[in-house]
Structure 1
Amino acid sequence: MNRKALWLGVALALLAGPVLAEKSSEFFKDYQQYSDDGKAFLDKIDPKTGAVDLPEGIHLDLKDKFYFLGKKDATSVLT
């Protein structure tokens, strides 16, 4: 599978938040229901919404319906 398509799929598969990265506690509605370990994990990721420019020259306009995770964060979430 094309690497760009994979990362675009990861970005589009995830749910949304506001335009700039926020704290996970504001981003995920059920954040308070997670264990302390779960909250610590969510606090480490950096979700982005709105206009996202990728180094490969790809421009995404995710508005507030989806969020994008960089390579490191996406790998953490998927594993």
Structure 2
Amino acid sequence: MLGVRSETDSAYRIVPCDSIHTFFMAFAIDAIFVDREGLVLRAKNVPPFRLFSCSGAWAVVEGIGLIKENKALERISER
């Protein structure tokens, strides 16, 4: 995702992961931290050049427009 805006319908899952950074990125991304069962623990739009973490997280889903499109985030499942 570094410096090149990807399509809004794609996302990246990083496992295991409880913290991310947006250093050297040209745009903000949505980060959704989940536990092992997929329960959303924390979701935030993260601006460039920031650190973001979530205690107890097992994975993070990163993308553009994820939070805006899914206002009722509770659980993320693998499809």
Structure 2 length as normaliser, TM-score?
Answer: 0.27
Q: Greater Rg, structure 1 or structure 2?
A: 1
Q: Which has the higher helix share?
A: 1
Which structure: greater strand fraction? 2
